[in-house]
Structure 1
Amino acid sequence: MTTDFSPRLFERDSDIRALGEGLLACALPRAAWTHEAHLAACLWLLTERPDIDIDAEIAGLIRRFNESVGGVNDDHNGYHDSITRAYVAGVRRFLSETAETALMARVNALLLSDVGRRDWPLRFYSRERLFSVAARRGFVEPDLAPLPRIVIASLRSQ
């Protein structure tokens, strides 16, 4: 696991909402779709978009966005199902444990947490398994430890 870790934090709720809306509308510049943006959009979707079933729709949302900016979703590039679903599980766990309630505070706390780390999925997966074509194309169960399983009726903002 890497030791140097300094994510770009957000300064306004509106920046996070703009990322999420930009993802949905396929209107973000490709350069804006960073690791931090992925996690911010995931938390935003889970807490502020009850109309979107993230488990059913996240793959299509990200694939569509990638294609809209000229990206390719194939065996080596673009959408990675197992990494995405690992982070969705991690963000859910984070939301079940955090005391933060404001959007920006939640996202920044997430980014500074263990779940926010780029190498966080490697706590559950070997590199070989996580970076396999099968894990990119579809969800593959971890081989080192089970992902967090959090069942919460509602993570939505109040």
Structure 2
Amino acid sequence: MTEFPVRHFLSDDAVAHIGEGLLSRTLPREEWTHEAHLAATTYLTLRRLDIDLDTELPGIISRYNESVGGVNDDTQGYHDTITRAFLRGVRLFLDEADTRRPIHELVNELLHSPMGKRDWPLRFWSKDRLMSVEARRKWIEPDLQDMP
């Protein structure tokens, strides 16, 4: 997979901007990057305990995508297996992290961890299985190895 430079967060406010912008559907589309996905998930996990991410995150992301002109269909938009894999990765990372640290520092560290890499799910799923319509529409179990 192509290596992309990691875009870091400079403040906790920058992370909150992503998380709250996702929820309110005011985040500009061009800011919805891989890093933003992980920042939002980290923010929601640590700061928005009122949200059950296991049940609500799919709808949050799908509604956001539509609000910025995106489409959630068989080839684009919300991808359930990837979203749930990264949610698990964020939780794994946070289980080992000192969550008293500033959230932007946690996000930046996550982005450089194995769980923060764009291709992390490909350790567990073959590309064909992960990119399938079935995986986009619902969680499917990995075919290469179990997730931690």
TM-score (norm 2): 0.96
Partner of 1:50: 49
Alignment of 1:86-105 (within 5 A): 86-99=85-98, 101-105=101-105
Q: How many residues align?
A: 147
Structure 1 42/19 Cα, relative in aligned 2: closer, same or farther at 3 Å? same
Segments of 5+ residues of structure 1 without an aligned counterpart are: 149-158
TM-score (norm 1): 0.90
How far did 1:5 drift? Answer: 4.8
Partner of 1:146: 146
Alignment of 1:119-130 (within 5 A): 119-130=119-130
How far did 1:99 drift? Answer: 3.1
Distance 2:141 2:26 in 1: 32
Q: CA RMSD in A?
A: 1.1
1:137 aligns with 2:137: yes
How far did 1:6 drift? Answer: 2.8
1:117 aligns with 2:122: no
Distance 1:99 1:81 in 2: 28
Percent identical pairs in the alignment equals 56
Partner of 1:63: 62
4+ long deviations beyond 2 Å: none
How far did 1:112 drift? Answer: 1.0
Partner of 2:14: 15
